[in-house]
């Protein structure tokens, strides 16, 4: 993955001395990429040895995982060395679709004893090779299914499972701070075998089978990213006409369509701009279809603030939540605050019984969970209502509803039509 060093290396120093000098200025970088061609075992072996040698010379440490044509890598060390190696990775012809999942300063290394370990599904057969480590297939499966959670998953190998983050953010820097002062051998001993895997299993053990999606949805997503979307808009109008219920349209059409658009981007079948434009087309079609929609008489239902997570540009999910509640006669206020401070001001100025906070309906956004946890904590601290109920939604919670309580919310919500019942059930606890 890294090319050979272009300049003459400094005279070798004891390994501990290199670590000691680098300690005050440690940075970490987590990314994933797609291999441009399948990597054989020999090629991976060569790659690991070259990467370890380069990292050793530059004072870097880390972990690399390869599976099904994807690389996940964690690098840590002095910022200048990290930048040098990162530039070579970006130029490496073996990589395509490189995506940075986390980059930040950290007070200490999480993988300080590893110049570069490599894990693949077949690495159990290479146990004699010091450069390989065997990670459980369940961890690799989770990375493949949820690539944008890689930063949290790998950081937590030094601490605990990423799903147990309560109301505090978990980042590479946080992971490093928590292991500071602990014996080095303890860092990589606990979590892979005794903590991370059991907690990941628990996370997925209660997952229900998600409802099937109309096969026309995937085709509709492709039509909507086209330069001329007329065929897609016509098909959407046809599907919209199959139901008069906003709830049924949300669960059967709009939400699965948003996820299909996100999948096209993740599979490199469209650009993010094309996907965003397509989502705008969906939202425009929804607005046209709801013009003149009948609203039930407004009753003494709870006051709900509906808002996307500050910084979230994809607001389709929040718009659907607001429309469903509004048509049901709820006291609903929709806002899109740009910052946490603006959201805090909203709940400080006005009494709300509940806050519906959402992430993208298209992307899983696992890497946003620590940030969302922090937002929820700040909102609770600022709220005029000390018993404010917080429900979170978006694709992440559609697939893993229980993740909502792990970040400090009262509940996660799978779909807009279920929101009202979710809020009422939570208020009655």
Question: Tokens 């099937």 appear where?
Answer: 212
Q: Is 422 left (phi over 0), alpha (psi -120 to 50) or beta?
A: alpha
Residue 409: partners with Cβ closer than 8 Å, 6 or more residues away? 357, 376, 390, 391, 392
Shared domain check, 191 and 220? no
8 Å CB contact between 101 and 74: no
Shared domain check, 383 and 237? yes
If one compares 40 and 299, the residue with the highest pLDDT of the two is 40
Shared domain check, 194 and 130? yes
Q: Give me the pLDDT at residue 429, please.
A: 61
10 falls within a domain = no
Residue 12 has pLDDT above 70, yes or no: no
Q: How far apart are CA 411 and CA 405, in angstroms?
A: 6
Which neighbouring-strand residues pair with 23?
Answer: none
Across the beta sheet with 331-334, what order do the strands follow? 331-334, 303-308, 354-358, 389-393, 411-413
Q: How far apart are CA 387 and CA 370, in angstroms?
A: 22
Burial class (CB in 10 A: 0-12, 13-18, 19+), 398: buried
223 falls within a domain = yes
Residue 315 has pLDDT above 80, yes or no: yes
State the CATH number of the domain containing residue 395. 3.40.50.280
Shared domain check, 91 and 67? yes
98 falls within a domain = yes
Residue 357 has pLDDT above 90, yes or no: yes
Lowest-confidence region among 53-57, 186-190, 215-219 = 186-190
Shared domain check, 70 and 19? yes
Shared domain check, 240 and 164? no
The length of the chain is 429
Q: What is the pLDDT of residues 52-93, one digit of tens each?
A: 899 888 889 888 888 878 888 888 888 889 999 999 998 888
Sign of CA dihedral 271, 400, 322, 383: negative
Q: How far apart are CA 310 and CA 313, in angstroms?
A: 8
| Residue 145 banded pLDDT, cuts 50, 70, 90 | low
Q: What is the pLDDT of residues 394-409, one digit of tens each?
A: 999 998 888 899 899 9
If one compares 352 and 272, the residue with the highest pLDDT of the two is 352
Q: What is the pLDDT of residues 14-26, one digit of tens each?
A: 434 333 433 447 8
Distance of CA 77 to the CA centre of its chain: 24
Residue 46 has pLDDT above 70, yes or no: yes
Shared domain check, 189 and 326? no
Q: Give me the pLDDT at residue 7, please.
A: 37
Q: Give me the pLDDT at residue 251, please.
A: 84
Both structure tokens of 6:
């272009």
2 falls within a domain = no
Q: Give me the pLDDT at residue 276, please.
A: 87
Shared domain check, 241 and 176? no
- The total of structural domains in the chain comes to 2
Of the three residues 205, 228, 255, the one that is the final residue of a domain is 205
Q: Give me the pLDDT at residue 182, please.
A: 44
Residue 5 has pLDDT above 70, yes or no: no
In terms of average pLDDT, the best of 50-59, 180-189, 298-307 is 50-59
Give the domain range for residue 386.
216-427
Q: What's the rounded mean pLDDT across residues 342-351?
A: 94
Share of the chain above pLDDT 70, in %: 70
DSSP for 165-189? -TTS---HHHHHHHHTTS-HHHHTT
Of the three residues 205, 231, 261, the one that is the final residue of a domain is 205
Of the three residues 146, 180, 205, the one that is the final residue of a domain is 205
Share of the chain above pLDDT 90, in %: 24
Shared domain check, 197 and 235? no
Q: Is 309 left (phi over 0), alpha (psi -120 to 50) or beta?
A: beta
Shared domain check, 224 and 195? no
Average pLDDT, the chain: 76
State the CATH number of the domain containing residue 178. 3.30.70.100
């Amino acid at each position: 993955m890294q090319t050979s060093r272009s300049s003459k290396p400094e005279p070798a120093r004891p390994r501990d001395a290199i670590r000691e000098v680098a300690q005050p200025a440690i940075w970490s970088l987590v990314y994933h990429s797609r291999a441009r061609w399948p990597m054989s075992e020999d090629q991976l072996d060569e790659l690991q040895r070259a990467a370890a040698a380069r990292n050793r010379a530059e004072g870097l440490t880390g972990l690399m995982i390869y599976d099904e044509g994807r690389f996940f890598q964690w690098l840590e060390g002095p910022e200048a060395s990290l930048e040098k190696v990162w530039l070579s990775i970006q130029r490496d012809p073996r990589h395509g679709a490189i995506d940075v999942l986390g980059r930040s300063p950290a007070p200490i290394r999480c993988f300080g004893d590893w110049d570069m370990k490599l894990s693949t599904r077949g690495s159990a057969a290479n146990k004699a090779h010091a450069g390989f480590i065997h990670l459980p297939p369940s961890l690799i499966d989770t990375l493949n299914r949820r690539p944008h959670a890689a930063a949290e998953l790998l950081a937590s190998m030094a601490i605990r499972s990423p799903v147990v983050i309560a109301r505090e953010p978990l980042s590479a820097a946080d992971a490093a701070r928590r292991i500071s002062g602990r014996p080095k051998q303890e860092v990589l001993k606990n979590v892979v075998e005794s903590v991370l895997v059991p907690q990941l299993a628990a996370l997925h053990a209660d997952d229900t089978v998600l409802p099937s999606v109309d096969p026309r949805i995937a085709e509709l997503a492709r039509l909507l990213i086209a330069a001329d979307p007329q065929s897609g808009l016509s098909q959407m109008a046809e599907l919209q006409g199959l139901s008069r219920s906003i709830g049924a349209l949300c669960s059967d059409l709009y939400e699965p369509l948003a996820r299909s658009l996100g999948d096209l981007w993740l599979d490199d079948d469209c650009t993010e701009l094309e996907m965003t434009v397509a989502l705008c087309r969906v939202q425009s079609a929804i607005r046209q279809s709801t013009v003149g929609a009948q609203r039930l008489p407004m009753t003494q239902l709870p006051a709900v603030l509906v808002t996307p997570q500050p910084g979230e540009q994809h607001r389709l999910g929040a718009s659907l939540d607001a429309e469903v509640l509004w048509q049901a006669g709820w006291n609903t206020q929709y806002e899109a605050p740009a910052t946490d401070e603006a959201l805090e001001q909203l709940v400080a100025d006005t009494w709300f019984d509940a806050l519906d906070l959402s992430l993208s309906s298209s992307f899983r956004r696992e890497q946003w969970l620590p940030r969302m946890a922090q937002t929820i904590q700040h909102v609770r601290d600022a709220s005029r209502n000390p018993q404010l109920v917080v429900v979170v939604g978006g694709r992440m919670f559609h697939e893993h509803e229980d993740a909502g309580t792990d970040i400090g919310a009262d509940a996660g919500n799978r779909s807009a039509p279920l929101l009202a019942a979710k809020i009422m059930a939570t208020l009655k606890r």
